[in-house]
Structure 1
Amino acid sequence: MTSEESSKMLEGLFKLVKEIRPVPKPRTRLSVYETKMLRERGVTITDLGDYALLTEGRNYGRIEHYIEWLAEQASIPARSLLYRPKHIGEDTCGFYGFQLTDAVALLVYMEQLGIMVSATLLVDELLPELEMRTLLTEAEHLILTYKLWTGRRLMFIQSTAKRVPGPEMVETFRSPMGYRYKMVRQGGQALSLEVRGPKHRELKQESIKCDYCGLTYLSNTPAETRAHRVIHRRAAQLLDPTPNTRFAKRLAQTDHPIIVDSNAPMWMQKEVYRRAVKFKRDFRYDFVQWAGDDVNPVKIGWHGQLFPAGPDGTIAGACALSNEHPGPGGVEWTLAWVWIAPKYRRQGLLAAHWPGLIERYGSFFIEPPLSEAMQGFVRSYGTESQIEFLAEPRERYQAEREFQS
């Protein structure tokens, strides 16, 4: 379609919605066209145009000429549909039209533009099925949210005419149904049409960063608000942990540290993984230093340890060690990370577990870079080799890795 043809289509649509006519009365029963559409699970473009003409007769009944163009604006595909043959293998005939959900979504789109059609009865027929579905097409989602957004949307249609430097002319119109239109023209060509539903309201949105969970989200956005609630709850499970009965039972069975490896229950591996993710985010590293996740077991050669805050099983923090890459001097084990919830820091928790880690893993290497707090801790509780490595650790570690490779 040329820019001139596109501009004419937009002008024709604006002329149609500006014409004042009585609003059709709401129907309570399906029409013949709607019944056929539901039975055949589709409709021809001609029949859809005839159906629209039942209620939309403005601009000399030209609505049927806009069906395909409006479908293109809404990104709704028209396609070749074939009648099922009586016997498989026989020839069949077809037509150009829309599948059922696409046709109903197009009617929803047209209604949102202030065109005198109603998708209410068809939407009611399709909703029970869609409400049971997990995956939806965009057209099906439009049907699912129809009642929520009726009259509330802000719509834009643009022609293919190009804007050029120079003045633009703006014409506005408010229909008896409350739809507000703004047509923008330039050089005699229609550029764009803005349509505000009668219930549309501008939402004041601002970017909010939650200092607790670290998420940045938009206010007055239901989806982002729900996402923030989920992430906030997950952050609280790490930052303000509560007693864990399963961990408490294990603690009651032994006085020795509980090692979380590939044979450990997945709930324990998941607890280590979640703290590895938190460590990665806090220090803005490129990847999670734990060779597993909350579904897949960790690889052999990785050990985690959960730090209890008391006998009730509250998990105050965790650490992870790996023997995948030897440290300087051939040290077998490397401490990849340690993360402790802020409320449990500087209370001697790591200091209490450090001798047990050294007893099990020897004078393990501590992977750099180390925070200032961790450097101070190593100077106080680390082995001689761990303290010695604090001087220029990165360059020395890289040099040894390059030599080994």
Structure 2
Amino acid sequence: MLERISVQSLENLIDVLKQTAPTLPKTKRLTTRELDLVQSGVILAVDFEDMVLDTEDRGGYRLSSLLKELANYFEIPIRYIYHKPRYANGENIGWQGYTAPDAVHLLILLESLGLCVNPERLVNKLTTTLKHKDMLTTSELVIWEYPSQRHKSKIHLRSDIDATQHAWAEHRFKGENGYRFILTLINERPYELEVIGPKQKNLRPRVQITCEYCGIKYTKGDLESSLTHRREHARLKRVLEPRLSSRFSKRLLNHPDPELVDDSSPLWMHDEVYERALRFKRDFRYDSLQWDGNSQRRATPNFEGHLFSEKLELLPTGKIVGACAFYWRKDHWTLYWIWVAPSMRRTGVLSARWAAFLERYGDFEIEWPLS
């Protein structure tokens, strides 16, 4: 987010917000402009301005020129939109505009500032395309959370005037739509505008915390952040402090080579190797992950992994205490990496398997650098 907005733009916005608000139409059908946005997936900046002015008639041209500055302030990307070329190597002419998610994100922010726009129809339409996505952009996340967060926001806009002057004053007013405004003035010019939604509630203070065990930074008091930390904490603990795995125990009893992970092994074994490859990468701060299997796909045939079982009195248990991976490079095998749980290091986990590795992979190389 940009640190400042021009004082002239902030004055124009405040002038708009103090005027009598128009009545929003209550239709649930998409307007022609909204339908074009959904179908094309983009909208030109001039058409977006017209879409806003269809319902927000306060401010006129002044509001139109403010929209791009607000987009920049909130880091909503303004892109160049092109017609698909009919001929190769032809000259393309582009116009500034927004993708559909970014345009709806900006509409949501305009509503949160107290302007008379209604993103609800577009949100309902775009949300259906987000239901089956696991990863979201910033704009898509705002759209996804809109039904539960509508009118609950608190937004600050700060102008670019000199804050070292001392003639400070505060002015409060309220819009007809229930939005509350706290305006801070310096020498009678706006320095900061705080916009509070009609349903906004003062929540418990949120504190940024870094977990000493897993290193995850999360926000105490925020449910989503806490759940993410809890999941990642438990994921790391399963690797660092291994527990009995019933699937691994059964494989150790029933399979002729139970620790081998190749392209015929079940997906859960590829995922167990992946978790330890990820730990190896993070521990040594490598750039790439040296295993291409996971819970969704098996590693390719040029990879072979091994899961290390804990042994008590020469009998294996179902605890996975480490893993390694071999990689076929041109005409020979290379031991790519080894990772063992800290509590099991220097206990003979690797040496007990070294003879079997030599028998299977011959005179293999060891990947450098050696740790």
The alpha-carbon distance between structure 1 residues 242 and 201, as it changes in their structure 2 partners (threshold 3 A), is: farther
Change (3 A) 1:63 1:231: same
Contact 2:179 2:198 in 1 (8 A): yes
- For 1:58 and 1:10, locate their aligned partners in 2 and report how far apart those are by CA, in whole Å: 15
Question: How far apart are residue 160 of structure 1 and its match?
Answer: 2.6
* Equivalent in the alignment of 1:313: 317
Which piece of structure 1 moves more, 131-140 or 11-20? 131-140
* Alpha-carbon distance, 1:186 to partner: 1.9
Residue in structure 1 matching 2:244, options 242, 245, 260:
242
Q: Which has the higher helix share?
A: 1
**Counterpart contact for 1:319–1:339, Cα < 8 Å:** no
Q: Does 1:122 align with 2:134?
A: no
Comparing 25-34 with 108-117, which one deviates more in the overlay? Answer: 25-34
Count of residue pairs the alignment pairs up: 330
- Partners in 2 of 1:197 and 1:7 — Cα distance? 23
Distance apart, 1:165 and its partner CA: 5.1
SS of structure 2 residue aligned to 1:141: helix
1:245 and 1:312 in contact (8 A); partners too: no
Cα distance in 2 for partners of 1:41, 1:357 equals 59
Higher strand share: 2
**In structure 2, C-alpha distance between the alignment counterparts of 1:136 and 1:269, rounded to whole Å:** 26
Which residue of structure 1 lines up, in the alignment, with residue 58 of structure 2? 58
Write the deviation string for residues 193-242 of structure 1: whole angstroms up to 9, x where unpaired.
Answer: 22222222333223567688675632232442232232243245353613
For 1:66, the aligned partner's letter is L
Question: How far apart are the structure 1 equivalents of 2:322 and 2:137?
Answer: 43
Q: 1:280 to 1:126 in 2, by over 3 A?
A: closer
Q: 1:159 — aligned with what?
A: 159
Q: Gaps spanning 5+ residues in structure 1: where?
A: 321-335, 362-405
Q: Is the 8 A contact 1:258 1:305 kept in 2?
A: no
Change (3 A) 1:258 1:182: same
Q: Distance in 2 between matches of 1:21 and 1:252?
A: 74
Structure 1 moving runs of 4+ over 6 Å = 89-93, 209-214, 257-270, 275-281, 358-361
Cα separation, 1, equivalents of 2:92 and 2:258: 70
| 1:144 and 2:144 correspond | yes
Which residue identity is paired with 2:6? S
Q: Map of 1:252-267 to 2, 5 A cutoff?
A: none
CA distance in 2, matches of 1:263, 1:47: 53
Q: Deviations over 1:20-50 (max 9, x none)?
A: 3354243212223323444454444343333
CA distance in 2, matches of 1:123, 1:168: 40
Distance across 2 between alignment mates of 1:109 and 1:148: 15
Q: Percent identity?
A: 24
Cα deviation, residue 358, structure 1: 12
Question: Which has the larger Rg?
Answer: 1
Alpha carbons 2:277, 2:290 under 8 Å: kept: no
One-letter amino acid matched to 2:15:
K
**1:67 equivalent in structure 2:** 67
Contact 1:279 1:339 in 2 (8 A): no
Give the corresponding residue for 1:225.
226
1:2-401 superposed matches below 5 A: 6-21=6-21, 23-59=23-59, 62-84=62-84, 87-88=86-87, 95-133=95-133, 136-164=136-164, 166-203=166-203, 204-207=205-208, 217-235=218-236, 237-238=238-239, 239=241, 241-250=243-252, 295=293, 305-308=308-311, 313-315=317-319, 317=321, 339=341
Given that residues 275 and 317 in structure 1 are in contact (C-alpha distance below 8 angstroms), is that contact kept between their aligned partners in structure 2? no
User: Counterparts of 2:172 and 2:111 in 1: how far apart (Å)?
Assistant: 19
2:252 and 2:318 in contact (8 A); partners too: no
Rounded Cα–Cα distance in structure 2 between residues aligned with 1:263 and 1:46: 54
Secondary structure in structure 2 of the residue aligned to 1:172: strand
Equivalent-residue separation in structure 2 for 1:75 and 1:293 (angstroms): 36
Write the letter of the residue equivalent to 2:163.
Answer: R
Task: Tell me which amino acid in the other structure corresponds to 1:306.
Answer: S
* Structure 1 stretch displaced more, 272-281 or 177-186: 272-281
Equivalents in 2 of 1:248, 1:92: separation in Å?
63
Matched to 1:313, the amino acid is T
- 2:276–2:339 contact (8 Å) kept in structure 1: no
| C-alpha RMSD of the superposition | 4.9
The separation in 1 between residues aligned to 2:236 and 2:66, in whole angstroms, is 51
CA distance in 2: counterparts of 1:39 and 1:280, whole angstroms: 43
CA–CA distance in structure 2, aligned partners of residues 316 and 27 of structure 1: 60
Contact 2:71 2:78 (8 Å CA) reproduced: yes
Distance (Å, rounded) in 2 between the aligned partners of 1:165 and 1:22: 37
Equivalent AA in structure 2 for residue 307 of structure 1: E
What letter matches 2:206 in structure 1?
A: Q
Counterpart CA distance in 1 for 2:274 and 2:96 is 53
Note the C-alpha offset of 1:294: 8.0
Q: Structure 2 stretches of 5 or more lacking a match?
A: 294-298, 325-337, 357-371
Q: Which amino acid aligns with 2:309?
A: L
